[in-house]
Amino acid sequence: MRSQTLNPREEIILTAIVEDFIQTARPVASRRVKVLSQMSVSSATIRQTMAKLERSGHLSHPHTSAGRVPTDKGYRAYVDDLMPTSPLETEASTLIQHWLEEVSGDVDSLLQLVSHIIARLTGSIGVALAPVNTAVRLQGINLLSADGDRVLMILETDSRELRTVAIPTEKSMTDQQLITVEDILRERLCGLTFEEIQATAGDRLVGTLADDIGLFGYILEHAGELFYGPADRLLYSHGLNRILQLPDFFNHANVAKLAGLIEDMDRLRSLVETRSAAGKPVVTIGAEHEDDLLDMLAVIRRGYYVGRNFGTLAVLAPKRVDYAHVCAVLDYLSTRMPELLRIEG
């Protein structure tokens, strides 16, 4: 798939700038782009194209430099359309195999080791989230009014776990509306596995009162958080000290943000969860997190199945990360997890 908004010249130049900035952390000038791209056009033409990419929001221009750096939009275009994809290098896969031979076999030891492997191979923070049974069933739903245009949704699973979340609604609800919506949700969702709810919630709730007040949209957008495993399952992370050595985190404010995130296990668990086991890694960049505390990060996540149990491997990195390499590492490890973890399901 190629970018629908960039022409071939723009794609070549944006790719050259992103990949050079990833390697050097220095703004990229037009002369450097000409050398990297090996394009048979003048430096003036390259500068004009770079200026156009800046106007379109793909590049930015630091005030103290003649070069350009990628923006979140530039990274997104690169990851979605321009990034090369290839299997993990033989040397790296051989190292992984060597390291895995030393693990004792229990879940804790394996997840801890995998987080170390991810951190070491990517130079960033590696995260390993334990798999959980996707066959957990929703047994009950209760809705309670909260202050303002919010509703408290209380979910009960067949294992008696309770989960409460405050949901913003598009308008306030009367008591009768609350009862009606509660009945609709119970009728259409209770008795289903979390996996079934995630796959069919759209079809089951579209056109209902839940849709009118905004609950439908919220449930779809946050299905991975609402209908997914026990909230306290095992999570291991490693590599904070390594990532703090990068120039991207010389800023003390960024260090504080990152350290706070790693210490907040519930928030970190929510951040890395994904349902993309059958597809390519999910990449979220900077402002796409819609959280000012995460605007300096890229989060790359890859799900894995072990029987009917589903877990996640992830990388927290500066936006200036080698996305292709990280995706290859996560793809390789996610395919190895079923043979490493033996879980009935």
Last residue of a domain, one of 211, 226, 241: 226
pLDDT of residue 228: 67
Strands 162-168 and 309-318: unpaired
pLDDT of residue 229: 60
Cβ neighbours of residue 204 under 8 Å, at least 6 residues apart? 188, 189
* Whole-number Cα distances in Å, 179 to 142, 172, 212, 275: 9, 13, 15, 31
98/26 same-domain check: no
Show contacts of 84-92: CB within 8 Å, 24+ apart.
84/324, 85/324, 85/327, 85/328, 86/324, 86/328, 87/328, 87/331, 87/332, 88/328, 88/329, 88/331, 88/332, 89/328, 92/121, 92/328, 92/329, 92/332
* Inside any domain, residue 183: yes
* Whole-number Cα distances in Å, 153 to 9, 119, 215, 303: 51, 37, 10, 26
Residues (pLDDT < 70) of the chain are 1-4, 104-105, 134, 148, 209-213, 224-225, 228-233, 274-279, 342-345
* Per-residue tokens: 334: 């996610």
* Inside any domain, residue 179: yes
142/261 same-domain check: no
CATH of the domain at 177: 3.30.390.60
pLDDT of residue 213: 67
* Per-residue tokens: 219: 């449930």
Cβ atoms of 298 and 323 closer than 8 Å: yes
129/237 same-domain check: yes
Burial of 174 (0-12, 13-18, 19+ CB in 10 A): exposed
66/100 same-domain check: no
Cβ neighbours of residue 81 under 8 Å, at least 6 residues apart? 1, 2, 3, 6, 11
* Inside any domain, residue 143: yes
259/307 same-domain check: yes
285/154 same-domain check: no
* Per-residue tokens: 181: 């919506």
58/109 same-domain check: no
Number of separate domains in the chain: 3
Last residue of a domain, one of 172, 201, 226: 226
* Whole-number Cα distances in Å, 287 to 75, 83, 142, 178: 12, 20, 34, 34
* Inside any domain, residue 3: no
Question: Of 263, 246, 266, 243, whose CA–CA distance to 316 is shortest?
Answer: 243
Last residue of a domain, one of 200, 226, 252: 226
Question: Of 309, 335, 321, 329, whose CA–CA distance to 79 is shortest?
Answer: 321
* Inside any domain, residue 345: no
> Residue 236: which domain range?
90-134+232-340
Q: Which residues pair with 137 in a beta bridge?
A: 193
* Inside any domain, residue 2: no
DSSP 206: T
238/329 same-domain check: yes
Q: In angstroms, rounded to a whole number, what is the distance separating the alpha carbons of residues 248 and 124?
A: 12
104/236 same-domain check: yes
Q: In angstroms, rounded to a whole number, what is the distance separating the alpha carbons of residues 255 and 157?
A: 38
CATH of the domain at 53: 1.10.10.10
Q: Which residue has the tokens 């200026």?
A: 51
170/280 same-domain check: no
* Phi (first) and psi of residue 193, to 5 degrees: -75, 160
331/261 same-domain check: yes
pLDDT of residue 345: 39
DSSP 159: T
* Per-residue tokens: 55: 């106007």
246/327 same-domain check: yes
Please calculate the CA angle 94-96-99 and round it to the nearest 5 degrees: 110
Q: pLDDT by residue (tens digit) across 286-298?
A: 999 888 878 889 9
pLDDT of residue 344: 40
* Inside any domain, residue 172: yes
CATH of the domain at 312: 3.30.450.40
* Alpha carbon 74 to chain centroid, angstroms: 17
* Inside any domain, residue 52: yes
